[in-house]
Amino acid sequence: MISIIICSRTKNINNDLVQNIQQTIGSVHELIVIDNSENRYSIFEAYNIGINKSKGEILCFVHDDIHLVTKNWGQILNSIFNKNEKIGLIGIAGSKSKTRMPSAWWDCPQKDLYLNLVQHLVNKEKEHWVEGFKNNTLEEVVVVDGVFMAARKINDIFFSQKMNGFHNYDLNLSFEYLKKGYKIIATQDILLEHYSRGKINKDWYKSAIEFYNLYNHMLPISVSEIKNLKLQEFKNGKLFVFKLNELGFKKEAIRFWLKLVWLKPISKFHIDFCKILLK
DSSP run (H or E) holding 169: helix 169-179
Is residue 187 in some structural domain? yes
Average pLDDT over residues 252-273: 94
CATH of the domain at 82: 3.90.550.10
Cα(68)–Cα(29) distance, integer angstroms: 15
The string of DSSP codes covering 56-90 is -SEEEEE-SSEEE-STTHHHHHHHHHHH-TTEEEE
Is residue 136 in some structural domain? yes
Cα(191)–Cα(194) distance, integer angstroms: 10
Please report which confidence band the pLDDT of residue 12 belongs to, taking 50, 70 and 90 as the band edges: confident
Q: Is the pLDDT of residue 228 over 80?
A: no
**In the chain, pLDDT over 90 holds for what percent of residues?**
90
- Per-residue pLDDT reduced to its tens digit, 48-62: 999 999 999 999 999
Domain count, the chain: 1
Is residue 64 in some structural domain? yes
Between 229-246 and 250-263, two packed helices, what is the crossing angle to 10 degrees? Answer: 160
Please report which confidence band the pLDDT of residue 18 belongs to, taking 50, 70 and 90 as the band edges: very high
| E-strand stretches of the chain | 2-8, 29-35, 58-62, 66-68, 87-91, 93-95, 97-98, 113-120, 126-131, 138-141, 143-144, 148-152, 183-187, 192-194, 221-222
- Per-residue pLDDT reduced to its tens digit, 129-183: 999 999 899 999 999 999 999 999 999 999 999 999 999 999 999 999 999 999 9
Q: Is pTM, for the whole model, over 0.75?
A: yes
Is residue 259 in some structural domain? no
Is residue 175 in some structural domain? yes
The one-letter amino acid code at 59 reads L
Range of the domain at 15: 2-226
Is residue 269 in some structural domain? no
Give the per-residue pLDDT at 42: 97
Mean of per-residue pLDDT scores for the chain: 95
Is residue 242 in some structural domain? no
Cα(17)–Cα(23) distance, integer angstroms: 10
> 233: which residues sit within 8 A by CB, 6+ positions away?
99, 100, 101, 220, 263
Is residue 201 in some structural domain? yes
